[in-house]
Amino acid sequence: MDWELTNFEHLRIDFSAIRIPRKDAEHLLSELAGKPKKRAGRPSGPSNPWEKEQVAAALRMIDRGDTRSVTAIALVLTDSALTGSKLQSQQRRLAWGIKRALDAEAKNSVQNKRD
């Protein structure tokens, strides 16, 4: 409750709130403010033929017995002309593609199949 200071009339003030997830609240606020929606970024993993070929080359290296970590192999296979954040981004995409291919290969291995 609150009082009007000039003539001392009683004012009633009510507050209410609802609890919603933060992401939903941000979407609602941006929609009410008229802000454009954000677009999805670049998809995970290799996105062009050259990067897909690099992932295939990495899998061949692993098949031949390369025991380095996936990130080390991805670093070797990145484009040498790139620097900074573009280099790191490409390295992450290649590493993601290699891990994904290895996981798919492990799921489809002969050991996992039933007779």
Q: Can you give the pLDDT at residue 45?
A: 79
84-107 vs 49-63: helix axis angle to the nearest 10? 50
Averaged pLDDT for residues 13-38: 83
What are the backbone angles phi and psi of residue 19, rounded to the nearest 5°?
Answer: -110, 120
Query: Where exactly are the structural domains of the chain?
Result: 2-33, 49-109
- Taking alpha carbons only, the member of 20, 46, 23, 34 closest to residue 101 is 46
Averaged pLDDT of the chain: 81
| Token pair listed for 87 | 């280099």
pLDDT in tens, 29-47: 888 888 877 777 777 778 7
